[in-house]
Amino acid sequence: MPGNSEPTQQQREITYRIVFEESSEPKFIVDREGKIVDANKAFAELFGKKPEDCVGLNSYSLLPPELVVERKNQVDEAFLSGKRLVFEDERNGRWFRNSLYPVQDSSGNYDRLYVFAQDITDIKISEKNTRKQSAFSREAMEAMPGPFVVLDPRGSIITCNSLFRKIITRNDEDDLAGINSFDLLHP
């Protein structure tokens, strides 16, 4: 029909294939038993294989033995709930955020999972560095021989050491973050 902007089934399939196959993120589809039905190049390369060599393999055979039971439980949970399941794990020094999407057959039964893994190693490294820096900053602030406070441009407290809290509130545990320092000093 001319002017119809609705994509045909064939156009949707072509789009799906392009998105699936050309993605830099590992993606694959498994059945209920864990047999790989489809895999993209990024997934296959993780295991030194070609995509066509992955089809038919048991996905659990590609995992370290200590991870198999946990992964089977997660797959079962996704099939039972019919809802997306997201979890993170680490393999060979790389961190992945895994997403399992249950896929329905023509009868409405969940018979496959669309699985993709996002490499979040850089995010994990950044989070670790941020935690280290934050811990260092807290320790340095607490090591100050006197009261120490960091204010935002409006005078609100961002953070302070326990000596400052003890002087202001007579309690070194109170959280003063967000309080305007002028309200504390000038009633």
Q: For the chain, what are the domain ranges?
A: 9-119, 133-185
Domain 9-119 of CATH type 3.30.450.20: yes
Residue of 17 and 95 predicted with greater confidence? 95
Q: Which two tokens stand for residue 50?
A: 């070609």
Cα(117)–Cα(101) distance, rounded to whole angstroms? 12
The reported pLDDT for the residue numbered 167 is: 86
Confidence of residue 33 (pLDDT cuts 50, 70, 90): very high
The reported pLDDT for the residue numbered 31 is: 96
How large is the average pLDDT for residues 52-64? Answer: 93
Cα(22)–Cα(37) distance, rounded to whole angstroms? 17
Q: Is the pLDDT of residue 111 over 70?
A: yes
Instruction: Please spell the DSSP secondary structure of 104-135, one letter per residue.
Output: E-TTS-EEEEEEEEEE-HHHHHHHHHHHHHHH
How large is the average pLDDT for residues 72-86? Answer: 95
Cβ 71 vs Cβ 60: under 8 Å: yes
Residue 40: C-alpha distances to residues 9, 34, 129, 172 (Å): 21, 16, 33, 56
How large is the average pLDDT for residues 115-119? Answer: 91
How large is the average pLDDT for residues 7-19? Answer: 83
